Structures are given as C-alpha cells and as structure tokens.
Amino acid sequence: MKAVTVPSTRLRLADVATQAQVSTATVSRVLNDKPGVSDDVRQRVLAALTDLGYERPTRLHTRSGGLVGLVLPDVTNPIFPAFCDVITTMLHDRGYLPALCAQTPGGPSEDQYVQLLLDQGAAGIVFISCAHADTSADLARYHLLRSRGVPVVLVNGHAAGVDAPCVSVDDQAAVDLALRHLTDLGHLRIGLAVGPLRYIPAQRKHDAFLHRLRADGVPDPAAHAVTTLFTVEGGQSAAGELIDSGHTAIVCGSDLMALGAVRAARARGLRVPQDVSVVGFDDSRLLEFTDPALTTVRQPVAVMGRAVVDALDAEIDGTPVTRTELLFAPELVVRGSTGAGPAPGLG
C-alpha cells in the first residue's frame, strides 16, 4: 500500500484512534504536536500511523536527538535482532538515529565499534549482552565512555562499578518457572544445559538451578547441570550427556540450545515430548513453528526495550537514572516440547 499523509478527516482520525486505542482528540493533539499527551500514548499513536500505512506529518520529524549506537555480540541468535527491532523503532520515534553495530567474524570488535561511535559523536550507546556480561572481560571501555560523558545503558548483564543503568531479565525467576512446569508434569530427573559460567546470565541460571535442587533435597545437584556453548551444537552436546545419564527433561539457557536438545533426543531415537521434554529460553521468533513447537521462557523484550530507551533518553537529557539493576519478570510459554514425565518406576 502506498503511504499517504493522514488528512484531518474524522473518519481517518477515527481509524488511527481505534488502532491506538485512544480518542480522536488525542490523535489530533499528537498529529499537531500539541502538549498534554504522555510519551507512551504519543508512541502508540505514531505506531498506529505506521501500522495503517500512513506517513507521519513533517513536523513530527523535526527533532534530531543524535546518533545512538546499538552494540550486540552477533545476529545469529534471534533474541538479539528482536531487541534491536524494538529499541531501534523506539529510538527513531523519539528522534534519534539508531546505528546497529553487530559483531561478526572478521568484522569490527566491540572496542572498534566504540571508537567509531565516539568518532561520530554518538549521543549514547546501548550494549546488549556484550563484554559487560562477561565476568572475565576488561570493563575499561565502559569507564572510558562514562569519563567522556557518553550515556550508556547495559542490557542483560549487570557490571558492578560501571556508572550506567542496567536492564535485565530475571534469570532466577526463569529457571523457577521452567522447573515448576516440569515438576508439575511429573519429571523427577531434570537437567540444565547452559552456556559458559563466566557470562552473568548463564551463571545466574546455573546458581538458581542448583539452589532449587538443593532445596528439594536432590543429592549432588551439580551432576544435573552441564555447561557448554550458547549454540545449537552446544545444546545438542550437553543434552546428549544429560539424556544418557537418565534425565527425562532438560532446561536450556537459550532457544538455540533447546533446538540442539531436540536434535540430541532424536539422534537417540527418542521422541519430544513423549520421551524427553525440552524447555528453551528467550522465545525467539518462529519457535511456535518448529517441530515440535518449543516450550520456552519468554524474555519481555518489548517492556525491556522501552525501559532501555527511557533510561537512555533521560540520561541524554541530563536526568540521572538509578544504577540499581532493573529486573524484569519472564513468562513461561507452553507449547509442544514438554509433556508428562515417565510413570513411577519407569523414569
């Protein structure tokens, strides 16, 4: 559909109002850039214009908040593009120019991206699961940015001592949701496949898993957790080890790892979920179309993305935001990869 400028007719204002779930008067105020509308409502109206195929009036494009970098470790894990989609859209709606800085083999490193963004006079930078999430990494790059007054927001990986807001999903709650779901299904031997423990999200999931097993009186909890790589192949290797040691359900540190766990089960002639149940983490796009559709613990990407942009916007405007890590509750999404545990005596 060819985009057209929204005319000030009641019928089309009503269409936008219905889409945004606001009044036509509110739509009119937004289109005429009038005060008295909250930022959240303003963004809903602008999103409705986009959804309906309309161009925004020219006056709504006048603000230029500057360049904002989004640095991420790769684009192979679908959760990173999901965050980028949300954050770049919100940054654009607030007048910023988002610059995607995805690390690829042979491409610029995180430090090189930081220098490029500094050279371009970036107004701020968002780091998504970058070196700040690696407890073995040097944090000097972040201290350098802050010493130069560049606002920074960290996503999924709280780096103590870095003067920046941090937005994370609650990894402990994620593990609790997965374990409660599997125990309610009757599984007694549940394993964990998670990435290298030097990464804060993996470490938190691992610690939460062991804590829960100890609380349930499971002997030697560490024997039920395998650390590996955050990849399909890593998930397949770890899941194979857990399946071979008698586990009937596996909690994975990412959806990619969970897909690897399904592959490991099938390589052994086992069915998912009839013989082995698998839970992922992230709720990446298209997972409901996998075979089987993957049960997973969803990161609230939209809500977290809004918190990231709110924090960065405030910091750029000179309003300091709390340095206490903001934790967001995950959500269990039950699909086809989990089922009843083995009958007593068969597990």
pLDDT at 5: 42
pTM of the model: 0.81
Q: Which residues contact 170 (CB under 8 A, 6 or more apart)?
A: 327, 328, 329, 330
Residues 4-55: name the CATH superfamily.
Answer: lambda repressor-like DNA-binding domains (1.10.260.40)
Query: Alpha carbon of 128 to those of 132, 133, 148, 164: distances in Å?
Result: 9, 9, 21, 13
pLDDT at 60: 57
pLDDT at 248: 96
pLDDT at 3: 41
**How far is the C-alpha of 324 from the C-alpha of 341, rounded, in Å?**
40
| Domains 66-169+300-329 and 171-299 belong to one CATH topology | yes
With a cut of 70, which residues of the chain have pLDDT below it? 1-11, 33-36, 55-65, 344-347
Q: Which residues contact 311 (CB under 8 A, 6 or more apart)?
A: 153, 165, 167, 321
* C-alpha count within 13 angstroms, C-beta hemisphere, residue 68: 29
pLDDT at 287: 75
Q: Give pLDDT tens digits for 27-64.
A: 787 777 666 677 778 778 877 877 777 766 655 554 45
Strand pairing of 295-298 and 331-333? Answer: antiparallel
Q: Give pLDDT tens digits for 80-96.
A: 989 999 999 999 888 89
Residues 171-299: name the CATH superfamily.
Answer: Response regulator (3.40.50.2300)
- Mean per-residue pLDDT over the chain, rounded: 88
Per-domain residue ranges for the chain? 4-55, 66-169+300-329, 171-299
* Closest C-alpha among 41, 40, 97 to residue 306: 40
pLDDT at 29: 78
Q: Which residues contact 168 (CB under 8 A, 6 or more apart)?
A: 155, 156, 157, 158, 201, 325, 326, 327, 328
pLDDT at 62: 44
Q: Give pLDDT tens digits for 305-335.
A: 999 999 999 999 888 888 899 999 999 999 9
Give the fold, CATH level 3, of 66-169+300-329: Rossmann fold (3.40.50)
**How far is the C-alpha of 228 from the C-alpha of 250, rounded, in Å?**
14
Q: Give pLDDT tens digits for 181-196.
A: 999 999 999 999 999 9
